[in-house]
Amino acid sequence: MRISRRTRHQITAEAVDWFLQFQETAVEEPDREGFSEWLLRSPAHVEEYLQVSSSWYLLNAGTEGASEADALVSAAKAHHENDNVVSLPSRSVRSAPPASVEAGHGHSRRTWWMALAASLVSGAVFITYLNWHSPMIFETEVGKQNSFELQDGSTLFLNTNSRARVTWSAGERHIDLERGEARFAVAKDPSRPFTVTTATATVRVVGTVFNVRAEPRTTQVAVLEGQVEVTVASGAGEGVDETQAATPEGPRASHSPTIERVRLAAGERAAVTQGGIQTNEGPPIESVAAWTQRRLVFRDQPLGEVIREFNRYRTRPLLLDDPDLAALRINGVFDPGDPDSLLTYLGLYETVQVDRRSDGSQRLSRAPQAKHGPNSRTSMVAH
């Protein structure tokens, strides 16, 4: 249950910076949004902020009996020191003033926008060079995201490790999402329906914002604005490979009456397999909406699932084969662009051990010195 010293020191430093920033509200308006994000990183951040606030309060009692201001000032002036602020034998820890923390934050945000802007340009170039009928391929590498403005004014936003084939014709705008995940903001054009296909689903729209995630056997569709119509892909079931045919969830094994066409409105979602459509399946809408802002949101989800989600953004996957550990429930908001954010969070607890292996992969296991096993970490579980 104990938090590693180094991480704790880091979080303390950040908590102090935030706290002092809030003390100086008159000087500079604190970055409330940034603070909220920081606070929600983990329970340890919340704890540390409460501890720092409490220390600040408790210290009042200790300062009352201290010498008069003049005496303190002359003692301070008489004492020549360099950087050694704390005279107790103590590891001198560099403090990151809030300004630099913010700058770092702003910087990453800026880089992200620059990348986005660059990608918009490259997307535009793509389209002008390509012939009207020939398909255009848009791809992202693992860990990367990209946004493309299409010729009709629609936007295609690709998540990590995704590939989309775009074909325009006079009567249809067609995107085949070969793999991965995409967000579409579709420009209205009733004469040319906008269609997204995956291996298992067809999504047809007029003008809306929606999210499609293509997994080998399931497609998850979530509608953020407007309406879409979802159908099971007509070819689905024909090209089934051996592994899929062998699974009990295969189309032929399905007994319940199958839904093959459904209309989804804003806030609704569905999971499409070759066996049919199930509405209200798939990730919560808030996490669907979060990836374009580089945020991964987990609400009481098992660590195994969290790791799988994270691995979509990593070239070297995290390995986890301890079933007890995989069952841990996790709450938190992480940045997939910072692959270590999850590890930092997990590293807070000494019961989780991360081994870096020679091939660069990392394996999560229970730390041998953990006396109580993972069950003792139920404090990480949402109630």
Partner 1 sequence: MNQLRNDKEANLLVEGLAQGGGNDLVRFIARRLRSVSDARDLAHEAYVRLLRVKRKDLIRDPQAYLYRIAVNILYEFELKRKADTLGLARCAECQIAEPAYSQPEDDVEALQTRKRIEAVLAGLSPKCRAVFILYRRDGLSYKEIGARIGISTNMVKKYLTQGLRHCREHLAELR
Question: Which residues sit at the interface with partner 1, rule CB under 8 A?
Answer: 1, 9, 12-13, 15-17, 19-20, 22, 24, 27, 32-33, 35-36, 39-40, 42-47, 49-66, 69, 72-73, 75-79, 81, 84-88, 90, 93, 95, 97, 299, 331, 379-380, 382-383
Task: Give phi and psi for 360, each to the nearest 5.
Answer: 95, -15
Minimum distance, C-beta of residue 318 to partner 1, in the bound complex (Å): 23
Q: Which is nearer to partner 1, 55 or 315 (CB)?
A: 55
The conformational region for residue 180 under phi > 0 = left, psi -120 to 50 = alpha, else beta, is: left
At its nearest, how many Å lie between partner 1 and the CB of residue 372?
A: 14
Instruction: Please report how close the Cβ of residue 54 comes to partner 1 at its closest, in angstroms.
Output: 4
- Using the minimum distance from each CB to partner 1, give the nearer residue, 9 or 261: 9
Q: C-beta of 47: minimal distance to partner 1 in Å?
A: 3
- The minimum distance between CB 62 and partner 1, in angstroms, equals 3
DSSP labels for 225-246?
A: ESEEEEEE-TTTTTT--HHHHH
318-320 and 362-366 beta bridge pairing: parallel
Side chain identity, residue 61: A
Q: Of the two residues 76 and 170, which places its CB atom closer to partner 1 in the complex?
A: 76
Provide the 3-class DSSP secondary structure of residue 320.
Answer: strand
The angle subtended at Cα 160 by Cα 159 and Cα 162, nearest 5°, is 80
* Of residues 78 and 170, the one with the C-beta less far from partner 1: 78
For the CB of residue 346, give the shortest distance to partner 1 in the complex, in Å: 15
Strand partners, 73: none
Q: Other CB atoms closer than 10 Å to residue 303's CB: what's the count?
A: 23
Q: Identify which of residues 71 and 125 has a Cβ nearer to partner 1 in the complex.
A: 71
Instruction: Give the phi and the psi of residue 368 in degrees, each rounded to 5.
Output: -65, -30
Nearer Cβ to partner 1, position 17 or 309?
17
DSSP 3-state of 209: strand
